[in-house]
Every structure is written in C-alpha cells, then in structure tokens.
Amino acid sequence: MIKRMIILIVMGLTLSSCDFIHYGKIAIQDNVRRIEMEREKKSVMKKDGPAAIDVDEYKEGVEEAIKDILKRPINKKVEFKGTTLIIPEGTRINPKHGNIVDEKTGYGIPLIFQITKGCSPVYYRKKIKEDMYCKIYHNGKNYEVNIISKKIINTNGFTNTCK
C-alpha cells in the first residue's frame, strides 16, 4: 500500500515537472532572443553602422561626413543584393545593414536600403522583380540626410506608389 502511494506521488511530481520544463524552454528562448537583439543593437551603433550618429564618440564625425557627402555627385554604381543602385561618389553600402558608409572616414550615415517582399506605400521603393522591392528609409529629423535621400531617390527612380 505504501509502495503504491509513493509511486503515485512520484508520478504526480514527474507529470507536474513537465510544466516547468516547458516554461524553462520558453525562458531560454526569450534569453537567446534578448541576447541577439543586444548584439544587433551594438552592431548598428558601430562606426560604420546606421546608428553611429547616436553614439557620442562618433556624432561629430558622422555629421561632418554627412555634410561632405551632401556636396558629392550621385554617380557611383553599386550592386546591392541583386540590384544596381547609384549612390554618392566616395561612399559604399554596408552589406550587413544596408546603410551608406563614407569611404574617407568610415562613418555610417543613417540612410538604409533594404530588399523586401511586397509593397508598402510608406517608403520610397524601386521594383526589382515581381513582388520584390528595394526600399530606402532614413530618420527624417536630419535635414542633410533628407537632401541626400531625395537625390538618391530621384537618381534611382524610386517611387512611393506600388506600381
């Protein structure tokens, strides 16, 4: 009798621990996701990342690079994920984040290209092939970046319609 009761108690504990295993797995997945997000945040804030302007150490240099890029012609052809884009002379596209990087200083500016499926009328975009678009976006707070963006949009034929 006692033996059966002990077996029932052990079985009950075993079954109830399955719930802990399930929630433990979710907690591990949440921690992995949080670590990946922190890595991504650090990555975009590097010198050549799109958020370099938000780092006090790089802010002045990025602002000077933006003013310098503003004076340059938009005539450099580059390949970006299967499409040809024309960007300012003396710049390149960061392959990891898709932002423009000044080749002279190495500073990334907050102007980003991204390949997406589907069309959204929020961003300026260029149709690459059926249901694939290259969109350009930036933080609209910086006046000089807005001007650079408009020049790139006009040169590359980006539109804000889904046609």
Give the tens place of pLDDT for each residue, 88-137. 999 999 999 999 999 999 999 999 999 888 877 778 888 888 888 888 88
Between 3 and 105, the higher pLDDT residue: 105
Q: Is residue 163 part of a domain?
A: no
Specify whether 73 is located in the same domain as 120: yes
Specify whether 36 is located in the same domain as 103: no
| Whether residue 1 has pLDDT greater than 80 | no
Q: What are residue 124's DSSP bridge partners?
A: 136
Mark which of 27, 44, 61 sits at the end of a domain.
Answer: 44
Which residue is listed with tokens 């000089």?
Answer: 144
pLDDT (average), residues 20-45: 75
Q: Does the model's pTM come out above 0.85?
A: no
